[in-house]
Chain A
Amino acid sequence: MVTEEEIEQVSKLMKIDVHDHKEFVEKVHDMINFFDILDSAGVEDEEVTMSDLPLSSLREDKHIPFEDKLIEKLNNYKGSFVRAPKMV
Chain B
Amino acid sequence: MNLKISALEFVDEVKNGNISAEDFVSATIDRIKDVDEKLHAFLQVNSKAVEQAREVDKKIKSGEKVGGCFGMPISIKDNICIKHSKTTCASKMLENFVAPYDATVISKLKQQDAIFVGKANLDEFAMGLTTEFSAYGPSRNPWNTDYVPGGSSGGSAVSVSAFECIASLGSDTGGSVRNPASFCSTVGYKPTYGLISRYGLISYANSIEQIGPITRTVKDTAFLLNILAGLDPNDNTTIDNGKKDYLSGIDSGIEGKKIGIIQEMMGDGIDSSVLSATNDAISKLEGLGAVCEETSIDMVKYSVASYYTIAATEAGSNLARYDNLRYGYDFPVEGFEFNSYISKARTKFGPEVIRRMILGGFVPSSGHAGKYFLKALKVKSKLTKEVTEAFKKYDYLVAPTVPILPFKIGEKIDDPIALFLVDINTVMSNLTGIPSISVPYAISNGLPIGMQLLSKQNEDKSLLKAAHALETTVKLPEVPI
**Which residues of A are at the interface with B, using a C-beta cutoff of 8 A?**
2, 6-7, 10-19, 24, 27-28, 30-32, 34-35, 37-41, 43-44, 46-49, 51, 53, 58-59, 68, 70, 73-76, 82-88
Given A11-B358, A16-B358, A59-B233, 15 other A-B residues pairs in contact with their CB atoms under 8 A:
A2-B362, A6-B362, A10-B361, A12-B343, A28-B359, A40-B302, A41-B302, A43-B381, A46-B379, A53-B236, A58-B236, A75-B96, A75-B324, A75-B327, A88-B339
Residues in chain A near residue B476, CB distance under 8 A:
none
B316: interface (CB < 8 Å)? yes
B65: interface (CB < 8 Å)? no
In chain A, what residue has the closest Cβ to B421?
A: A34
Contact B379–A41 (Cβ < 8 Å):
yes
A interface, over-half SS = mixed
Residues in chain B near residue A14, CB distance under 8 A:
316, 320, 357-358, 360-361
Q: How far is the CA of A39 from the CA of B309 in the complex (A)?
A: 13
Contact A15–B342 (Cβ < 8 Å):
yes
B346: interface (CB < 8 Å)? yes
Name B305's contact: one of A28, A38, A46 (CB within 8 Å). Answer: A38
Number of chain B interface residues as a range: 35 or more
Contact B416–A85 (Cβ < 8 Å):
no
In chain B, what residue has the closest Cβ to A73?
A: B100
Q: How far is the CA of A4 from the CA of B351 in the complex (A)?
A: 17
Smallest distance from the beta carbon of B122 to chain A beta carbons, Å?
21
In chain B, what residue has the closest Cβ to A68?
A: B100
In chain B, what residue has the closest Cβ to A35?
A: B305
Contact B327–A38 (Cβ < 8 Å):
no
Contact B98–A10 (Cβ < 8 Å):
no
Smallest distance from the beta carbon of A20 to chain B beta carbons, Å?
9
Residues in chain B near residue A30, CB distance under 8 A:
416-417
Residues in chain B near residue A44, CB distance under 8 A:
378
Given A18-B354, A24-B355, the answer on whether A39 and B371 have CB atoms closer than 8 Å is: yes
Smallest distance from the beta carbon of B154 to chain A beta carbons, Å?
22
Contact A16–B349 (Cβ < 8 Å):
yes
Contact B354–A85 (Cβ < 8 Å):
no
B interface, over-half SS = helix
B375: interface (CB < 8 Å)? yes
Name B338's contact: one of A19, A68, A82, A85 (CB within 8 Å). Answer: A85
B102: interface (CB < 8 Å)? no
In chain B, what residue has the closest Cβ to A49?
A: B381
Residues in chain A near residue B301, CB distance under 8 A:
37, 41
Tell me the chain B residues, 266-285 only, with Cβ under 8 Å from chain A: none
Residues in chain B near residue A49, CB distance under 8 A:
381, 384
Residues in chain A near residue B376, CB distance under 8 A:
35, 38
Given A17-B343, A48-B381, the answer on whether A38 and B309 have CB atoms closer than 8 Å is: yes
Contact A32–B362 (Cβ < 8 Å):
yes
Q: How far is the CA of A49 from the CA of B327 in the complex (A)?
A: 35
Smallest distance from the beta carbon of B241 to chain A beta carbons, Å?
15
Residues in chain A near residue B332, CB distance under 8 A:
76
Complex A-B: 12 CB contacts under 8 Å: A2-B362, A16-B346, A16-B349, A24-B355, A27-B416, A30-B417, A35-B308, A47-B378, A70-B100, A73-B100, A75-B328, A83-B325
Q: How far is the CA of A6 from the CA of B332 in the complex (A)?
A: 30
Smallest distance from the beta carbon of A69 to chain B beta carbons, Å?
10
Q: How far is the CA of A28 from the CA of B417 in the complex (A)?
A: 10
Residues in chain B near residue A18, CB distance under 8 A:
354, 358
Q: How far is the CA of A42 from the CA of B305 in the complex (A)?
A: 14
In chain B, what residue has the closest Cβ to A45?
A: B378
Smallest distance from the beta carbon of B29 to chain A beta carbons, Å?
28
Residues in chain A near residue B96, CB distance under 8 A:
75
Smallest distance from the beta carbon of B360 to chain A beta carbons, Å?
7
Contact B326–A10 (Cβ < 8 Å):
no
Smallest distance from the beta carbon of A38 to chain B beta carbons, Å?
4
Smallest distance from the beta carbon of B67 to chain A beta carbons, Å?
24
Smallest distance from the beta carbon of B204 to chain A beta carbons, Å?
15
Q: How far is the CA of A17 from the CA of B341 in the complex (A)?
A: 10
Smallest distance from the beta carbon of A9 to chain B beta carbons, Å?
9
Contact A16–B357 (Cβ < 8 Å):
yes
Residues in chain A near residue B244, CB distance under 8 A:
none
Residues in chain B near residue A40, CB distance under 8 A:
302
Tell me the chain B residues, 342-377 only, with Cβ under 8 Å from chain A: 342-344, 346-347, 349, 354-355, 357-363, 365, 371-372, 374-377
Q: How far is the CA of A48 from the CA of B377 in the complex (A)?
A: 6
In chain B, what residue has the closest Cβ to A6?
A: B362
In chain B, what residue has the closest Cβ to A70?
A: B100
Residues in chain A near residue B336, CB distance under 8 A:
85-86
Q: How far is the CA of A41 from the CA of B371 in the complex (A)?
A: 12
B264: interface (CB < 8 Å)? no
Contact A24–B358 (Cβ < 8 Å):
yes
Contact A85–B327 (Cβ < 8 Å):
no
